[in-house]
Amino acid sequence: MYIIYMFHKAKTEKERQKIFDEYLLGVLKKKKVIKTNKKIIDESGFSFDPELENNKVKGAFNNYVDTLFIKNYMIEQLQTRLKISKSLSTQFVNKLNGNEILILSKNLNDFINYIDDNHNNINDYILLSSFNNLQKNHNINQQQEKNKEVIRDNQQESIPADE
């Protein structure tokens, strides 16, 4: 129902084509997942091993308490070693997902040492990384404009001029 609403809301043919392409891609992805799951079920033969189920890793950490312990440790380390407020370090850590927490927990000392060695303080690091993101986005926009020009030039060359 949502796709029909969005399709009729689109004003140009290009917007409609984009919506249709996204919808078709979603359908194809779902079809692929169903096919993969069906293949897994067919090959498994309904063998259930309760010990195998108990030994599986259920995410990055074993339980919620481990996650809280690691988050609190990271908050304390960031706060004391980078000399930032507790609320700032808490906000940073709480925005991370499970995989990012795992990566940061394994590389926390390297991360803090990198900031200490290469920047005067955390604000310098924040400003520099923000500027680098801005510069990257600017370069991407410039490249897209160049690509559009190349396409326009190619189209003009391929269309014969009226005599």
Segment 23-48, tens digit of pLDDT: 878 888 888 888 888 877 776 655 55
> Could you tell me the pLDDT band of residue 140, with boundaries at 50, 70 and 90?
very high
Residue 57 above 50 pLDDT?
Answer: no
More confident residue, 5 or 114: 114
Query: Average pLDDT in the 144-158 region?
Result: 81
Nearest to 69 by CA among 37, 107, 32, 101: 101
Query: Average pLDDT in the 68-95 region?
Result: 89
CA angle centred on 18, ends 13 and 21, rounded to 5°: 120
More confident residue, 114 or 153: 114
**Structure tokens that stand for 91 in this block:** 């906000």
**Structure tokens that stand for 55 in this block:** 């030994």
- As a whole number, the mean pLDDT across the chain is 79
pLDDT in tens, 96-121: 888 888 888 889 899 888 888 888 78
**67 and 106 in contact (C-beta within 8 Å)?**
no
The predicted pLDDT at position 62 comes to 64
Q: pTM of whole model > 0.75?
A: no
Residue 146 above 50 pLDDT?
Answer: yes
